[in-house]
Amino acid sequence: MLLVRASVLFLPRLNRTHIRSALPLYHKSFLTCASMAESSGTLPSLVGPSWLSDRLEQKDVKILDGSWYLPAAGRDAKAEFRQGRIPGAHYFDMNGISDHSTDLPHMLPSDAQFAAAMDALDIHNSSTVVVYDGAGIFSAPRVFWTFKAFGHAQVTVLNGGMPAWKAAGLPVDSRQIAEDVLGRGLAAAQHPPSQSSYTAHLQKHMMRDWKQVLDNVESRQETVVDARAADRFQGKAPEPREGMRSGHIPGSLNVPFGQLLQDGRYKSPDELREAFAAAGVDIHQPITASCGSGVTACILALGLDQLQASKVAVYDGSWSEWGSRQDLPVQQA
């Protein structure tokens, strides 16, 4: 039914003798992809624990904990970072380093805000950035996409995140960290200077706004793929945010993000390909990923990256925006 309604303390790196080698905790197909990428001189978009442990002492490698959780998870990302982190990691506050001129959650910041945060986190345009999160794979792909959206080429995600790092027996830094250091990136983004050493330029082709998505409802030039659970996509379950309509963007397809993951890691490329194909998604055509608030859409985007899908954008406002506007069409299964 179609309803149309009007309206770091920058932590010293541990000595290599404290780090023992460990096999990557991801499917061997990813090892092949990573090896192929490195042999061609490019950085793979997913790496394993051993890949990162071998590079902990490299000054140009910057590690970010990009953990963020839904309220229902009952987890505190900052508290967990205080308790333990990968040696040398800084905290990337996804909610804080965002556009606060809107009531939509964690929308992309401005060029100036992002650049200021990078300076505060000691990240340069040439840095190799490795992002992880405490769930394995949840919010790290959103941080990955944010870096890509501002033109940072050298960024990758730790497949399996902190759980995989710990399971490999690799070191965790649990030393006390000052609150002003923990919030350094956020503070800089809130009060960006007129000039920054880091240069950020938003790559507009990587994102979509509601007007572009609405135009696409008619043109169908891009396939909108929704990462939310099937019952929410179909409008059979209420949305977690008050006052938000149920359903989905007309003409969109549904690939719940959990179908791409197993034990907090991405599945093999063959399994990823099957998940998209089963939903009717042609990965060779332009795709816009959407979800509840623009986070798990990035899980789809990074999964598509594993399949070398090159025309992928993310609807930043996602259902938080679309479902709350009474002037946009909603479809229910």
Contacts of 253 (CB under 8 A, 6+ apart): 223, 224, 225, 226, 279, 280, 281
Helix (H) or strand (E) holding 160: none
For residue 298, indicate whether it is catalytic. Answer: no
Helix (H) or strand (E) holding 61: strand 61-65
Give dist(CA 32, CA 28) in Å, integer.
6
Do 313 and 208 form a contact (C-beta atoms < 8 A)? yes
Which ranges of the chain would DSSP assign to H, the alpha helix?
A: 28-39, 49-53, 77-83, 111-120, 140-149, 161-167, 179-182, 184-190, 210-219, 230-233, 269-278, 297-306, 318-322
Do 319 and 238 form a contact (C-beta atoms < 8 A)? no
Q: Which entry of 56, 283, 291, 301 is annotated as an active-site residue?
A: 291
- Token pair of 48 as six digits: 């394993």
Bridge partners of 63, per DSSP, are 130
> Hey, which residues are catalytic here?
291
